[in-house]
């Protein structure tokens, strides 16, 4: 009898610890994933350091894509959980993107300083061959649209440069995963901008319309240059000096008329 009493007490305590019974036979029609963005980074560290940093310290990412002869993908944070990879960040009307994004870190040393300027490290094609299906699967699971597959430098241009100008965004665009301007449309726009370059305020307005947080000063200040450089790293990596030129203007003009997913309010 005493044994039965103890078993019953244990059962009751277990029930209290797990909370009340919840009937999950119904599911609301109005719901979707909290994940709205996929953010791509490089680690700027080797594999050992990357694992230590992302698994044991105060930063984290959902996935880590390794380098070497046979790259693999580590799943470090479940997609249902928040990882700490974005930091102070924004895109269009959204801010603090850790709460609404999936972070993917790629082992890559980033850049090194030389007398002739920074030299960036290339990504392995085997890494990109793993990355593309990973991004596609995440996007399908959560309904992430191509205009919301971004780099760390897109969402934090004042302090971040990853994944850098050698990241092959065009390969992701060709796979239908990233917003990309039509080359013919850009070529049509280019002569007009070569003839008459818009004022800095125009570039600031277009960059903000695209999604960047950019100051609306009307002057080519240091923060504006960083945003222009971040845009160039993604869409015109051959020259990333942050100067608003005709080709940058043509790219912006085309991209800002492409359809993008509106930031809908999630609360009613």
R_g of the chain computed on alpha carbons: 23
Counting other chains too, the contacts that 206-213 makes at CB distance below 8 Å and 24 or more residues apart are: 206/249, 206/252, 206/253, 206/256, 207/231, 207/252, 209/256, 210/252, 210/255, 210/256, 211/91, 211/92, 211/147, 211/150, 211/154, 211/260, 212/91, 212/154, 212/157, 213/90, 213/157
105 is catalytic: yes
Contacts of 142 (CB under 8 A, 6+ apart): 33, 35, 36, 79, 102
Please tell me which residue in 53, 56, 79, 105 is annotated as part of the active site. 105
Residue identified by tokens 């070569």 is 194
Q: Which of 139, 107, 140 is nearest to 124 (CA)?
A: 107
3-state secondary structure of 120: strand
CA distances from 243 to 211, 229, 237, 249, 250 (A): 19, 7, 13, 10, 14
Q: What would the DSSP string read from start to end of 38-66? A: EEEEE-SS-HHHHHHHHHHSS---SEEE-
- The two three-digit tokens of residue 50, written as one number: 């990357």
Catalytic residues: 105
């Amino acid at each position: 009898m005493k044994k039965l009493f103890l078993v019953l007490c244990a059962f009751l305590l277990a029930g209290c610890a797990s909370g009340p019974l919840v009937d999950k036979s119904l599911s609301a029609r109005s719901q979707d994933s909290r994940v709205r963005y996929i953010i791509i980074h490089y680690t700027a560290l080797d594999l050992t350091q990357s694992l230590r940093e992302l698994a044991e310290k105060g930063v984290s990412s959902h996935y880590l894509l390794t380098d070497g002869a046979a790259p693999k993908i580590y799943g470090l944070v479940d997609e249902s959980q928040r990882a700490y990879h974005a930091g102070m960040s924004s895109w269009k009307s959204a801010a603090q993107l850790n709460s609404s994004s999936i972070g993917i870190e790629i082992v890559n040393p980033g850049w090194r300083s030389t007398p002739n300027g920074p030299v960036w490290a290339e990504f392995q094609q085997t890494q990109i061959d793993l990355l593309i299906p990973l991004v596609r699967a995440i996007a399908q699971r959560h309904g992430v649209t191509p205009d919301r597959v971004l780099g760390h430098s897109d969402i934090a241009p004042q302090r971040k440069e990853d994944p850098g100008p050698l990241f092959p965004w065009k390969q992701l665009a060709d796979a239908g995963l990233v917003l990309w301007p039509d080359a013919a449309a850009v070529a049509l726009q280019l002569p007009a901008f070569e003839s008459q370059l818009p004022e800095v305020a125009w570039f600031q307005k277009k960059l903000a319309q695209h999604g960047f947080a950019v100051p609306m000063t009307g002057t080519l200040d240091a923060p504006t240059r960083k945003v222009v450089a971040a845009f160039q790293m993604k869409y015109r990596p051959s020259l990333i000096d942050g100067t608003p030129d005709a080709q940058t203007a043509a790219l912006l003009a085309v991209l800002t008329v492409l359809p993008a997913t509106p930031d809908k309010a999630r609360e009613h």
